[in-house]
Amino acid sequence: MSLKRRSFLKGAAGGGAALATAAVVSAPAQARPNKVMPPQAVGLLYDSTLCVGCKACVAGCKEANDLPVDVSTPDALWDTPLDIGPKTFNVIKVYAEGTADTKDQEKNGFAFIKKSCMHCVDPSCVSVCPVTAMTKHPQTGIVEYNADACIGCRYCVASCPFGVPQSEFDTPTPKIMKCEMCKHRQAEGKIPMCAEVCPTGATIFGPIPALTEEINRRKAMKAGEANVFERRVIGSGDTHERPAAKYLDHVYGEKEVAGTQFRHMSAVSFTKLGYPELREQSYSSQSEGIQHSLYQGMIAPVVVLGGLVWAAKRASHIEDEHPEE
């Protein structure tokens, strides 16, 4: 069949009209509300002002999750991950400005920050996964990954606003690698390794209500006054005393993208520490709202397809009526 330019454009216009009609007919896209915190949610609190940068959590994480070394230097002597990735679920990074001689200070100072999975309340990676390989545990809220269900589409990699899930690129059968809050250790009644090994309690584990209480307690502390800080897990009784820092009011993860189960406290603004400013509405609530409205009852797709068929039929009919043209 030889299709003339004129008849092609006619058909295309018809299809476009059908599409426009369908868009008007279907209900306006509405976002669903943010998901809420699971009832027995557990989480981690990272306090940048308590962190001394010992990287015990980085080493402990590797041990607990049986991860290989991640080299970034030419001599490849040490495990020196530059960021989280398929070989590293947890990393301590540094913000340093100017002479960098005072801790927890933005100008001429430095601060540490931990990067690992935020365990969002309404996670994008779970929302985008077409095969539910990424799931959020209904009770604990841990964002988990099932390699047996995964088809390797890497939508989760693209969807995460924190760049957490990462795919292995050095194997023909790649898996998604990310922190699962040491769920295997939690199943044995233990706590995540990063909280277990932290010598200052900069990373502490606990149920979300207890963590929230601890956050409020720390926010109420007067800067410079000696305070007691717990280690490992809320209620461990394993404490140490030190002067409190001047905390920011902003606790990262309380409101960002509907909240996360991994929260950060700091004296240096989070944009400087590499944590993006994010809105309170979760991305998955919006994208799911649009998608679920468009495909509701399959009405819109049927209308669009009908319009296209009609337009195509009409175009070929004209062609048949005037074979000499």
Partner 1 sequence: MYDDSDLKTETDIETRFGVSRRDFMKFCAAMAATMGLPKGADAQIAAAITKKERPSVIWLHHQECTGCTESLLRSEHPTLDKLILDIISLDYHETVFAAAGHQAEAARKAAMAKNKGKYLLVVEGAIPMKDGGIYCKIGGQTSFELTKECAADAAAVVAIGSCASWGGMPSTPPNPTGSTGVAEALGRKDIVTIPGCPPNPYNFLATVVHFLTFGKLPALDDKGRPTFAYGRLIHDNCERRAHFDAGRFALEFGDPGHKKGYCLYKLGCKGPETYANCPSILFNDVGTGSWPVGTGHPCIGCTEKHIGFEKPIHALADLKTNPPTGYPRIVEEQGTGATLASAAAVAAVAGLAVGAGMKIAGNLGKSETKDGE
- Distance, in Å, from the CA atom of 253 to the CA atom of 238, rounded to the nearest integer, reads 26
Nearest distance, CB of residue 56 and partner 1, angstroms: 3
Interface with partner 1, residue 197, by CB under 8 A: yes
Buried b (16+ CB within 10 A) or exposed e, 224-256: eeebebbbbbbeeeeeeeeebbebbebbbbeeb
x/- map, 101-120, partner 1, by CB under 8 A: xxx------x-xx-------
C-beta of 80 vs 212, nearer to partner 1? 80
Give the count of beta carbons closer than 10 Å to the beta carbon of residue 209: 12
Q: Which range in 15-23, 81-89, 156-164, 288-296 contacts partner 1 by CB under 8 A? A: 81-89
Query: Which residue, 236 or 293, has its beta carbon nearer to partner 1?
Result: 236
CA distances from 218 to 32, 205, 233, 267, 309 (A): 34, 15, 15, 12, 64
Candidate list 185, 250, 272, 314; residue touching partner 1; CB under 8 A: 272
Q: Of 114 and 119, which has the nearer Cβ to partner 1? A: 114
Three-state SS at 101: coil
Q: Running DSSP on this structure, what letter comes out for residue 210?
A: H
Residues 203-262 close enough to bind partner 1 by CB under 8 A = 240-242
Output 129 or 195, the one with its CB closest to partner 1.
Answer: 195
- Closest contact distance (angstroms) between CB of 142 and partner 1 is 22
Residue that the structure tokens 């599409």 belong to: 19
CB 92 → partner 1: shortest distance, Å? 6
Q: Which residues touch 26 (CB under 8 Å, ≥6 apart)?
A: 293, 294, 296, 299, 300, 303
Cα–Cα dist 13/16, whole Å = 5
Can you list the alpha helix ranges (DSSP code H) found in the chain?
5-25, 56-64, 124-128, 155-159, 183-187, 193-197, 208-219, 283-294, 299-321
**Which listed residue (6, 8, 33, 99) binds partner 1 by CB under 8 A?**
99
Q: Of 294-323, which residues contact partner 1 (CB under 8 A)? A: none
CB of 207 to partner 1, least distance (A): 24
Which two three-digit tokens encode residue 100?
Answer: 């960098």
25 vs 76, which CB is nearer to partner 1? 76
Window 17 to 56, contacts with partner 1 (CB under 8 A): 52-56
- Between 37 and 100, whose beta carbon lies closer to partner 1? 100
Q: Which is nearer to partner 1, 74 or 172 (CB)?
A: 74
> What is each CA distance from 198 to 55, 173, 227, in whole angstroms?
8, 34, 18
Does residue 59 touch partner 1 according to CB under 8 A?
Answer: yes
Q: How far, in Å, CA of 208 to CA of 214, rounded?
A: 10
What is the binding site for partner 1 (CB under 8 A)?
2, 52-57, 59-60, 72, 80-83, 91-96, 99-103, 110, 112-113, 197, 199-200, 240-242, 272-274
